[in-house]
Amino acid sequence: MADTKYLELKDSSSKSGGIAIAPDVVESIAGITVDQIDGVHLISNNISKGFNTILGRDAVGAGTKLIEDERGLVIRVNVMLDFGVSVPQVATKIQDRIQQQLLFMTGIVIDEVNVVVSGMVPDKTTSDIDPNDIFSENNGDQK
């Protein structure tokens, strides 16, 4: 979110002053929300991950991006899903939860949540190999 440094909260004008939230906070809330959904893994590109590491920042919101454009406030979320989940159902759940959580925590209305599914995480496979007898001739070839 290059153009806007802080988001001014509506109805935050009081006798004590206004309230503003940094875009990174909104991205972090979205990232934490996504991490709490079963079957979903937030991902980030290597560049943002590298910058966060260099700057010593937490990478919780690294797979999310807040953009302000003609549509309003838009969040883009990059995820991988567990194999076997319904992509449309999980993507809709991600969109709903992010919008609800941000509205609850900040009062900010997100106009769009775009979910980008970049891959699937395969089921874990189990091995028939006995770790105590890895050199057995029959290991893994049980018939």
Examine residue 41 and state whether it is found in any structural domain, yes or no. yes
Q: 112: which strand partners?
A: 74
> Are residues 51 and 62 in contact, defined by beta-carbon separation less than 8 angstroms?
no
CATH of the domain at 115: 3.30.70.1350
Examine residue 127 and state whether it is found in any structural domain, yes or no. no
**Residuewise pLDDT in 10s, the chain (143 residues):** 444 588 888 765 667 888 899 999 999 999 999 999 999 999 875 544 554 555 555 555 678 999 988 889 999 999 999 999 999 999 999 999 999 999 999 999 999 999 999 999 988 766 667 667 767 666 555 54
Examine residue 75 and state whether it is found in any structural domain, yes or no. yes
Number of domains present in the structure of the chain = 1
Any alpha helices (H) in 78-118, and if so which ranges? 87-106
Examine residue 8 and state whether it is found in any structural domain, yes or no. no
Give the whole-angstrom CA distance, residue 18 versus residue 108: 14
Examine residue 107 and state whether it is found in any structural domain, yes or no. yes
Domain span at 65: 19-45+59-119
> What does the pLDDT read at residue 123?
80
pTM above 0.85? no
Please count the residues of the chain: 143
